[in-house]
């Protein structure tokens, strides 16, 4: 059975790249009717952020994703990791290290194996004295560790270039390297899809699988998301990077997921739009990319606009509870995020006064007269008659009207908007503009 997992650390919010990793692991498991596991890797207590695991779970659910097993917390499994660390010690595949942080800070590169030379008597004495220690993996000398990556093919590392990794820290908790191997084995994880920053850790984990006599999972290291320029990793300099931020900015979860599907994978066709169920049906490791994709915010806006326009007016109104439902048909084709609606409809709840120099005040007085004396329900024809009678430029007329009513150049259809807010509100806004001598 295919079993995958998502294993975030509660050190902050979920990055958009981590959301893509979650999506791919979810899709692979569901494609094969397998199981998807959520595991919280919370053993790094120095970087732990209070409440982060709760927000991680909230974000996963907010994107319409779920898990079959878990969440499991590594901090609650310390005794399990200790058991396996003791097994490695007993077989000479790991060793105690009593070196102080000060001594380690003086080392130029990897650990110099000073404590590997300690006798059993010296180790016993130090343990009896209660000296602080860590447990390190004993890396074999002069070997090559090779594994096949489902994205990149065969990858090899010389063991002489690898450090004797800490497996158990001085606080008794495991490092990532031991905990991930033990958990992936005990949870029967068949495929590990993760970011390419973990490639250099893989040979150490492969060695642990060998020491324990376990079969390793299939590894697939996903490329990093680049910023729009394609010259560096996606960073805060280019805008939002966290999954939660995109929802807060008014992006639909299904649009974000659809865009992420195509950042590192393609279906082998020209199809761009996939529901989650459609993606699950066609997802495969064979179509994962080796090249690093650039995150293009404009392309995401394109996807989001498409999904917004697929919503019925009632569905969109539920997503925009702050908006008068009568405006929904007017703005539907004009917004690319939910937050755009707030900007477009600000005039409905506020009187926004534009600079007087942008307005034709004489024209505005004529508009006021129309509102006071003519049939309000027939505004469009009344305005067109006024334009013809006064020989106004149509564009100039409606820009003055738009600025007076909405305070902005970009608005929903102006006449329809005026009919929604009513004659009294329109006259109030125009009078405020005409009376505003300070502008």
**Distance linking the first and last C-alpha atoms of the chain:** 71
Question: Residue 325 and residue 313: Cα distance in Å, rounded?
Answer: 8
DSSP secondary structure letter of residue 286:
G
Of 61, 110, 124, 236, which one is the catalytic site residue?
236
**Is 236 among the catalytic positions?**
yes
The strands making up 3-6's β-sheet, listed across from edge to edge, are 3-6, 35-40, 69-73
Going by C-alpha positions, the residue among 212, 173, 185, 172 that lies closest to residue 88 is: 212
How far apart are the C-alpha atoms of 101 and 96, rounded to whole Å?
15
**DSSP string of 270-288, one letter each residue:** S-----HHHHHHH--GGGB
Q: How many residues does the chain have?
A: 439
> Which CA distances in Å does 96 have to 87, 92, 119, 121?
13, 10, 11, 12
- Residue 313 CB: number of other CB atoms within 10 A? 12
How far from 312 is each of 171, 250, 319, CA to CA, in Å? Answer: 55, 17, 11
Instruction: Look at residues 44, 117, 217 and name the one whose alpha carbon lies nearest to residue 52.
Output: 44
Residue pair 420/327 in contact by the 8 Å Cβ criterion:
yes
Task: Report CA torsion sign: 393, 395, 400, 401.
Answer: positive
β partners of residue 136: 95, 166
Please state whether the peptide bond connecting residue 71 to the residue before it is cis, i.e. omega within 30 degrees of 0.
yes
3-class DSSP assignment, residue 370: helix
Q: Where are the beta strands (DSSP E) in 205-280?
A: 218-222
Contact 234, 295 (CB under 8 A): yes
- Classify 217 in phi/psi space as left (phi over 0), alpha (psi -120 to 50) or beta: beta
* Count of C-beta atoms within a 10 Å radius of residue 269: 7
393 Ramachandran zone, left/alpha/beta (phi>0; psi -120 to 50)? beta
Q: Name the residue among 305, 295, 306 with its Cα closest to residue 339.
A: 305
Which sequence positions are flagged as catalytic?
236
């Amino acid at each position: 059975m295919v079993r995958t997992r998502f294993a975030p650390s509660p050190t902050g919010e979920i990055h958009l790249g981590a959301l893509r990793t979650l999506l791919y692991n979810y899709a692979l498991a569901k494609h094969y009717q397998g199981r998807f596991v959520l595991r919280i890797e919370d053993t790094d207590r120095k970087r732990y952020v209070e409440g982060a695991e709760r927000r991680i779970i909230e974000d996963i659910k907010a994107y319409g994703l779920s898990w079959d097993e878990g969440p499991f917390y590594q901090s609650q499994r310390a005794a399990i990791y200790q058991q396996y660390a003791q097994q490695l010690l007993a077989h000479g595949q790991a060793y105690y290290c009593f070196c102080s942080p000060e001594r380690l800070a003086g080392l130029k590169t990897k650990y110099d194996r000073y404590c590997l030379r300690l006798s059993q008597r010296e180790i016993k004495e130090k343990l009896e004295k209660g000296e602080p220690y860590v447990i390190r993996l004993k890396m074999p000398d002069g070997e090559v560790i090779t594994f096949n990556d489902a994205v990149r093919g065969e990858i090899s590392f010389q063991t002489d270039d690898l450090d004797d990794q800490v497996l158990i820290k001085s606080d008794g908790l495991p490092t990532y390297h031991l905990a991930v191997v033990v958990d992936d084995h005990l949870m029967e994880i068949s495929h590990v899809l993760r970011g390419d920053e973990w490639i250099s850790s893989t040979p150490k984990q492969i060695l642990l699988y060998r020491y324990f006599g376990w079969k390793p999972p299939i590894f697939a290291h996903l490329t990093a998301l680049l910023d729009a320029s394609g010259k560096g990793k996606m960073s805060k300099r280019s805008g939002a990077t966290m999954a939660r931020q995109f929802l807060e900015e008014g992006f639909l979860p299904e649009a974000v997921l659809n865009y992420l599907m195509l950042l590192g994978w393609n279906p082998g066709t020209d199809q761009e739009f996939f529901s989650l169920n459609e993606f699950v049906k066609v997802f495969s490791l064979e179509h994962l990319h080796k090249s690093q994709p650039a995150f293009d915010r404009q392309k995401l806006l394109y996807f989001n606009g498409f999904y917004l326009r697929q919503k019925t007016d009632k569905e969109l109104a539920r997503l925009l509870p702050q908006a008068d439902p009568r405006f929904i048909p007017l703005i539907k084709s004009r917004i690319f995020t939910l937050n755009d609606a707030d900007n477009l409809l600000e005039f409905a709840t506020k009187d926004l006064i534009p600079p007087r120099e942008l307005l034709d005040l004489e024209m505005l007085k004529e508009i006021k007269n129309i509102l006071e004396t003519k049939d309000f329900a027939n505004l469009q024809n009344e305005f067109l008659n006024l334009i013809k009678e006064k020989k106004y430029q149509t564009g100039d007329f409606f820009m003055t009207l738009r600025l007076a009513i909405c305070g902005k150049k970009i608005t929903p259809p102006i006449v329809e908007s005026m009919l929604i807010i009513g004659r009294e509100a329109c006259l109030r806004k125009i009078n405020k503009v005409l009376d505003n001598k300070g502008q």
